Amino acid sequence: MGEANTEQHIIADKTLIRTAQVTSWILTPFSIPFLAFLVLFLFSYLRIMPLQYKLIVLGIVYCFTILMPTITIFLFRKINGFGLQELSERKKRYIPFTLTIISYVFCLLMMHKLNIPWYMTGIILAALVVQIICIIVNLKWKLSEHMAGIGGIIGGLISFSELFGYNPVWWLCLFILIAGVLGSARIILRHHSLGEVLSGFGVGLICALLVLHPLSNVLFRIFLF
C-alpha cells in the first residue's frame, strides 16, 4: 500500500513538473510582446486596421523579439557549450540579456522608421525598459523575466483601457489567473524564489504603466518621436 502511494506521488510530481515546464515554455518572455500585439489586433478596435498592415507589424515584432533573440542565444549556448539550465545562473545571464536588448533596439528603430503609432511602439519600449532593469538588478540579484512579461501585459491592459475607453475587467481576471499559474510554475521548477517572482511581476507592471498609460507617458512619447 505504501509503495503504491509513493508511486502515485512520483507520477503526480512528474506531471506537475511537466505542466510547469510547458507553461514556462508557452509564456516565455520572448513571446509576450508578440502576444500583446496579437491581442490588440484581434480584440481591440485595432482589428479594423488593414490585414497587410497588421501582418507587417506582427512580422517585425516576431522577427526582432522572438526569432532573433532565440537564434543568437542558441548560437551563444552552442559556442560556449552551455545548457539551458546553466543560463538560469545569474552570472551567465548578461550576454543573453544583452543580445535580447540589441534585438529590441533594432525593433524600435524599424517601427519608428515605418511611423508605427506610439502606443504600439510603446509596447516594445516598455519591454526594452524591463530588460534593462533586469540586467541591472542581475548584478546583485535575479528577477523573473517571465513574471516581468506577464506583469507588463497587465500594465498594458490597464493603460490601453484608459487610452481607448474600454472595460478591462475580464481581461484582467484572465491574465491575473495566468500570472498566478506562471509564477507557481517558476517556483515549482526552482528557477525563482517567491520574492524573485513577485519582484519581476512588479517591475513589468510598473514599467508598462509608466511607458503606456496616458497620464504618465509624456516623456516616453517625446523620446519615441
The answer to whether residues 221 and 163 touch, using CB atoms and an 8 Å cutoff, is no
Retrieve residue 161's grid coordinates.
Answer: 483601457
Q: Are 195 and 141 in contact (CB under 8 A)?
A: no
pLDDT of 144-156, one tens digit each? 889 999 999 999 9
Spatial CA neighbour of 148 closest among 19, 33, 18: 33
- Kindly tell me the sign of the dihedral angle through the C-alpha atoms of 153, 154, 159, 163: positive
| Dist. CA 4–CA 28, nearest whole Å | 36
Coil, strand or helix at 189: coil
- Given a contact cutoff of 8 angstroms between Cβ atoms, the answer to whether 200 and 151 are in contact is yes
Q: Look up residue 116 and give its DSSP letter.
A: -
Q: In the prediction, which pLDDT does 216 show?
A: 73
pLDDT of residue 219: 60
Regions of the chain short of the pLDDT cut 70: 1-12, 82-93, 217-225
CB 133 within 8 A of CB 122: no
pLDDT tens digits along 121-146: 989 999 999 989 988 888 788 888 89
Whole-number Å distance between alpha carbons of 36 and 65: 12
φ and ψ at 84, to 5 degrees? -60, -40
